[in-house]
A = this chain, B = another copy of it.
Amino acid sequence: MQISAADIARLVKGELIGEGQVLISGFSGIKEAKKNELTFLGNPKYEPLLLDTQAGVTLVPRQITCPGKTLIRVDNPSLSFTQVVNYLLKDAPDYKPRGIHPTAVIATGAKLGPNVAVGAHTVIEDGAMVAEGCVIYAGCYVGHETHLGKNCLIYPQVVLREKVSLGERVIIHSGTVIGSDGFGYVTVDGKHMKIPQVGTVLIENDVEIGANVTIDRARFDRTIIGEGTKIDNLVQIAHNVIIGKHCLVVAQSGIAGSTKLGDHVILAAQTGLVGHIEIGNGAVVGAQSGVSHSIKAGEQVFGYPAYPIKDALRNNAHIQRLDKYVETIKDLKKRIEELEKK
């Protein structure tokens, strides 16, 4: 299938600069794109790449010009690109399972809505409810009394333990475990006694969770992942954590028990948050940071331990200059000794 530059411009409501009859049959990155492919320039700082691209058509921010190239100017090239990709993909092969595979083991007490698909060898336990339009791939486990809202997409080999609740349009990638027991013990005479973890997990609408993530069930109450939040691969969310709406939690980050994130928080990759703290709305934690205290709304922190990014960068600059400072101290000492002799 093909689409012309003029049709793309119409689709994304953009301003066409160049040849409207160029035909596009694929899409690629700005470096790799070929003449029959669409690409986009997401960030004006990469503008030099535009000169060299072989792409047939490039979606660019409004202010960009590049004579000889066919451009479509839009407000958000990345977003428009996605729009075109989705349009071109609407007839792409769909690999999702359909219907209920005969090897799936579905308890008689489980309730499945209309148009639910369940892949091979998936197990759905008693009391589970899977709403209309959900797709559960092969090899998943849906525990007792776990509920999935409409149109969830669950990739192969996901484990949803008992009494977990998913909102609508939740996406969970392979190998992820939701509702494992929290890490809770009482130490008596040097031995660790298990505290029953009888709470559960609530995942709200439009959350996406990456591969091999672990989200523990609450000790009592609920661990909560707020609406629209996106969680990357290999993230650890401990018991009783509450994450607000539209947050981003990047790969390999970990949040200890009972910590609470506001809305629109960003945790970069490999961050660690201690338990029982609060991270305000819109706060940003830099990669690999270790956060041991609450963070105010809008604050940006960085480092181990994490400090406001301005302080962290300044301290780091000082550390890189320690050698010079030490030289100066030695020099001053010598000069003082000289002065003292006089």
Identify the A interface with B (CB < 8 A).
27-29, 32, 76, 78-79, 81-82, 85-86, 89, 92-93, 95, 101, 103, 105, 119-121, 123, 125, 137-139, 141, 143-144, 155-157, 159, 161-162, 171, 173-177, 180-181, 183, 185-186, 188, 190-196, 198, 208, 210-214, 216, 219-221, 228, 230, 232-234, 236, 238, 240, 246, 248, 250-252, 254, 256, 264, 269-270, 272, 274, 287-288, 290, 292, 304-305, 307, 311, 314-316, 318-320, 322-323, 325-326, 328-329, 332-333, 335-336, 339-340
Min C-beta distance of A82 to chain B, whole Å: 5
**Which of B250, B256, B315 meets A183, CB within 8 Å?**
B250
**Do A175 and B198 form a contact, CB below 8 Å, given A256-B269, A287-B274?**
no
Which one of B125, B159, B250 lies within 8 Å of A157 (CB-CB)?
Answer: B159
- Report the 5 A-B pairs with minimum CB-CB distance, sorted nearest first: A180-B211, A318-B322, A214-B233, A141-B156, A159-B174
Query: Is A322 touching B315 in the complex (CB atoms < 8 A)?
Result: yes
Q: Look across to chain B and name the residue whose beta carbon is closest to the beta carbon of A77.
A: B186
A113 to B118, CA, bound (A): 28
Beta-carbon contact of A288 and B304 below 8 Å: yes
Q: Which single member of B221, B254, B311 contacts A28 (CB below 8 Å)?
A: B221
Contact B123 A123 (CB under 8 A): no
Q: Which residues on B sit within 8 Å (CB–CB) of A314?
A: 323
| Measured CA separation A318–B318 after assembly (Å) | 11
Chain B residue numbers with a CB within 8 Å of A192 are: 228, 230, 246, 248
Q: How far is the CA of A151 from the CA of B258 in the complex (A)?
A: 31
Interface pair B95/A121, CB less than 8 Å apart: no
**Smallest Cβ distance from A320 to chain B, in angstroms?**
7
Within the complex, what minimum Cβ distance (angstroms) separates A277 from chain B?
13
Other-chain contact of A175, B177, B188, B264 (Cβ < 8 Å): B177
- What are the residues of chain B within 8 A of A93 when measuring CB–CB? 144
